[in-house]
Chains A and B, each alone.
Chain A
Amino acid sequence: MTDLEQRLRRDLHDRAAAADRTIDLMPGVIRRSRATRARRTALGSALAVAAIAVIALAGSGYLPLFGLGHSGSRPGKGAVSQKRPPPVLAGVPLPDLAATPPGWITAPYEDGQLSVPSSWSINGDQCPSAGAIFLGTPVARSGCALPSERAWMEPDNARPAPGSVRQSLNGIAAYRLTSQPGVPSYLVPALGVRIGAQGPLASRVVHTLTWSPLSVMTAPSAPFRPPAGWKRYQVHGISVAIPGTWPVDTGNEAGVQCALIVPRDKLVMVDASSPPGAISCPGSTGFPSAVPGVIAVYGHYAARITAFQGGGRCTERGRVRICLDQGTGEPGSSSTLPSIEVTVPGSSPVVLYIGLAGTGVQGRMIFDSIRGA
């Protein structure tokens, strides 16, 4: 080999190594293959023109705004939930609703979520008979036998080991961890977690991984503007916009303290200007299901009644200071109905609960609409 050949070999390797970067090719591959297929079809049929438009819209992530959302294929056995690229809106990756099979429930934790059969329990809140998913906590349950079918999502901020195989779970980079056969386990640095599952549905469960609605609400990006038809309401010095079709209801402090208010598609106002009395809550009803809606607790005792915990992330927007509860993202209502303290100088804070369901886009629009009245 001549000097030139040796130098060329060395320089090519050095140059490639210097330019190397982490990439996730599969979403682009799927998108391109779909586009190619659509182009071919268009040659023979005028109807294909509409199909291409739909694919282009889906690829750009704009469909959720128009209510069409994730009408893509449902996942079957194993890694089949990646038939199209995961939706993105204004640079924010959205939860892939098609990753949740029909009849399954979502189990969000921080910025990610898995889906499991609706018969499974979450964090062993009841002695599980069918299966269980453990979020943010070690797989354990005192007083109950562990079900053979289980899944988990635990915090893990480790970096992937050199040479570990990178895969894509619904567009999220995941690194396979060494595990026993039939027990898939992955490190997911983008979410700061490790996930895994065992049992007959193990592979299917881990392939439901996607972003959580909470991740959409808290993602840094340009504000999500509410669409036309939304109404703005003033609550104790702040204002917030909600869909125009939502009614305004009232609730009481006991409903807040016992987590009994389900603000399904409505704004529930709770006056907390009087000191809370001693109340007795009924037993736990388990993990709440995610529904869209808003609860606004206002008055001098709002923070006390809601047991709002400071120390979470805060932001200043105009004249108002907006803070998340310290426990935001923890399993349960902290993920599906996070509380937000909104403070206007010279006024007692208002605590808003924003129901996060679906893609979380609507919740994000509500969150971004908060400002001083």
Chain B
Amino acid sequence: MGVGMIAEDDFRGYVAARGPGLCRTAYLLTGDWHAGEDLVQEALARVYMRRHRLTSPSALEPYTRTVLISLFLTSRRRRWRGELALGELPERAASSAADELDDRQDLLTALGSIAPRQRAVLVLRYYADLSEVEIADALGCTPGAVKTHAARGLARLRKNASVLEGRT
């Protein structure tokens, strides 16, 4: 395959097939569906403009993933992100939901409190089911660093989740 093998139709097909999955991943990274959708659109727009540099349609997925993670981490490094996106209203009435739901909320809330790079590793590993090598490619680091981020992320998650559970 030579350079410039990604035709517009290939790209559209890729977006149609993988767009929803990318949005779900981005949603878990950002904690907000609309922010996730924006992130995916920004990533796809960048890939769209550079698609002629890719050598085959199979390169779209890892490249898009790398751009998506890069954009996510860059956005988290900014001091001010313009607005705080919330999935639900900040004020909520007391819930009578089951304890399991509370636990889940606590765990995902705790996920939002850990470092962005650790969060990215946990989402890619436990949601996207990527290997350490694939995650390393997406983050631009070594597989060893991925292991370290995962271990520290899980430890932080366990600690934060238990704090949240103790508070309720």
Task: Mark A residues whose CB is within 8 Å of B.
Answer: 2, 4-5, 7-9, 11-16, 19-21, 23, 25-26, 28-33, 36-37, 78-80, 82, 165-168
Contact = CB atoms under 8 A, between A and B. Distances in A.
B15 A16 contact: no
Contacts of A166: 16
Contacts of A28: 37, 41, 45
A29 B45 contact: yes
Contacts of B126: 5, 8-9, 12
A8 B126 CA distance: 7
B68 interface: no
The dominant DSSP class at the A interface is helix
A79 B16 contact: no
Contact of A7 (B27, B87, B107): B107
15 contacts: A4-B158, A9-B127, A19-B24, A20-B20, A23-B19, A23-B20, A25-B37, A25-B40, A29-B44, A29-B48, A31-B45, A32-B45, A80-B8, A166-B16, A167-B12
B146 interface: no
A153 to B, nearest CB: 22
Contacts of A79: 8-9, 12
Nearest to A34: B45
A8 B107 contact: yes
Q: Which bracket fits the contact residues of B? A: 35 or more
A167 B16 contact: yes
B42 A32 contact: yes
Contacts of A25: 15, 19, 23, 37, 40-41, 44
Interface of B: 8-9, 12-13, 15-17, 19-20, 23-25, 27-28, 33, 37, 40-42, 44-46, 48-49, 87, 103-104, 107-108, 111, 122-123, 126-127, 154, 157-158
A165 B20 CA distance: 11
A168 B28 CA distance: 25
A170 B85 CA distance: 30
Given A25-B37, A29-B44, 5 more contacts: A4-B154, A7-B107, A25-B15, A28-B41, A79-B12
A13 B17 CA distance: 18
A283 B126 CA distance: 71
Given A8-B122, A29-B41, A20 B12 contact: no
B157 A4 contact: yes
A171 to B, nearest CB: 12
Nearest to A17: B24
A309 B111 CA distance: 61
Nearest to A80: B8
Nearest to A35: B45
Nearest to B7: A78
Contacts of B16: 26, 165-168
A30 B12 contact: no
B24 A165 contact: no
B157 to A, nearest CB: 7
A23 B87 CA distance: 17
A31 B42 CA distance: 10
Contact of A16 (B41, B127, B157): B127
A79 B107 CA distance: 44
A16 B45 contact: no
